[in-house]
């Protein structure tokens, strides 16, 4: 495994979140002006192309392929890597001792036999938990994987990774993740994503050439302005958000930006999204979506 020195876990997350929006905006603008290596990454470079209405979107397995294995575990992620899908999506958080691990919820309660916030557990404590039995006895004693372990499995593949930074991240914490990505030589295949605006700003500051995706349950009136504000390549949003603004995909594409949608698990939803021309679909049923696309759009 890769040996890195992890920063001491921060206790100032809630305080930093309260920074005024004007301060965040100014800091981002100054970073872009003063940092000459901050170069624009285009959506078409990452997604291959921006889709026209009716053109098949890329498929991303949500937390791996959770239809065959417990979410965000190595078996689920390995299944996603072995499948035809283009992207793998997973979530990363820090343990109490600052080690990046793959977990969606703030607590380990739902997906392990333990309790408590992952940010309050050391890596040793987190790794002692059973993250598979809740799903099936077949996966008993499956452990919460570290990001390092996953990247070792991911690196030999040709997949793209959509890595969500859960919650708020300090710059030095983002740097730990970015360092691991670079050590494994996969920085050309990883896109960082977050709901948190300060985390997005910190990510751009730490890794200006690494593509960013903004996650928004409901898009703002000006999604293009939001994406450009953070120099993001795309927005990842909900089906409800798309239904509320049927022109959003067209406006994003006209600006050279991508639009992705989560988490769609039925043929009806897939059809609606593809008819709008979304670029990527996050799904819990990636194998089913791949099969459906092959049947409805031969040659994909």
Is the distance from CB of 278 to CB of 241 less than 8 angstroms?
Answer: no
Q: How many CB atoms lie within 10 A of CB 132?
A: 24
Beta bridge partner(s), residue 262: 238
Nearest C-alpha neighbor of 245 from the set 231, 226, 232: 226
Q: How many angstroms separate the CA atoms of 93 and 101, rounded?
A: 6
Q: How many angstroms separate the CA atoms of 53 and 237, rounded?
A: 17
Beta bridge partner(s), residue 281: 59, 261
Q: How many angstroms separate the CA atoms of 181 and 196, rounded?
A: 21
Mark 184-196 as b/e (b = at least 16 C-beta within 10 Å): bebeebbbbbbbb
Q: Report how far apart, in Å, the C-alpha atoms of 294 and of each of 56, 259, 268 are.
A: 9, 22, 16
Q: How many angstroms separate the CA atoms of 200 and 110, rounded?
A: 27
Given 104, 184, 229, 253, the catalytic residue? 104
Q: How many angstroms separate the CA atoms of 222 and 145, rounded?
A: 38
Catalytic site residue 62?
A: yes
The 8-class DSSP code of residue 12 comes to -
Q: How many CA atoms lie within 13 A of 276 on its CB side?
A: 26
Nearest C-alpha neighbor of 167 from the set 105, 228, 212: 105
Catalytic site residue 184?
A: no
Active-site amino acid positions: 62, 104
């Amino acid at each position: 495994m890769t040996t890195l020195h992890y920063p001491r876990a921060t206790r100032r997350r809630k305080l930093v979140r309260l920074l005024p929006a004007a301060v965040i905006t100014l800091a981002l603008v100054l970073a872009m002006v003063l940092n000459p290596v901050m170069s624009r990454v285009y959506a078409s470079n990452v997604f291959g192309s921006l889709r026209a209405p009716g053109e098949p979107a890329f498929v991303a397995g949500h937390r791996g392929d959770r239809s065959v294995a417990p979410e965000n575990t190595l078996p689920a992620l390995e299944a996603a890597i072995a499948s035809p899908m283009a992207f793998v999506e997973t979530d990363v958080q820090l343990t109490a001792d600052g080690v990046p691990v793959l977990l969606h919820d703030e607590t380990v309660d739902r997906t392990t036999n333990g309790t408590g916030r992952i940010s309050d557990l050391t890596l040793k404590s987190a790794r002692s938990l059973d993250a598979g039995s809740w799903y099936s006895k077949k996966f008993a004693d499956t452990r919460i994987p570290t990001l390092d372990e996953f990247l070792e499995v991911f690196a030999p593949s040709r997949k793209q990774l959509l890595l969500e930074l859960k919650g708020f991240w300090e710059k030095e914490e983002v740097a730990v993740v970015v360092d691991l990505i670079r050590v494994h030589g996969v920085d050309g295949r990883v896109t960082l994503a977050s709901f948190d605006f300060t985390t997005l700003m910190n990510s751009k500051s730490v890794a200006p050439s690494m593509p960013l995706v903004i996650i928004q349950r409901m898009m703002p009136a000006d999604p293009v302005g939001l994406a450009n504000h953070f120099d993001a390549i795309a927005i990842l949003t909900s089906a409800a958000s798309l239904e509320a603004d049927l022109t959003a995909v067209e406006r994003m594409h006209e600006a050279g930006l991508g639009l992705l949608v989560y988490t769609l698990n039925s043929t009806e939803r897939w059809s609606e999204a593809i008819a709008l021309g979304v670029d990527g679909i996050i799904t819990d049923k990636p194998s089913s979506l791949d099969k459906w696309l092959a049947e409805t759009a031969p040659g994909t």
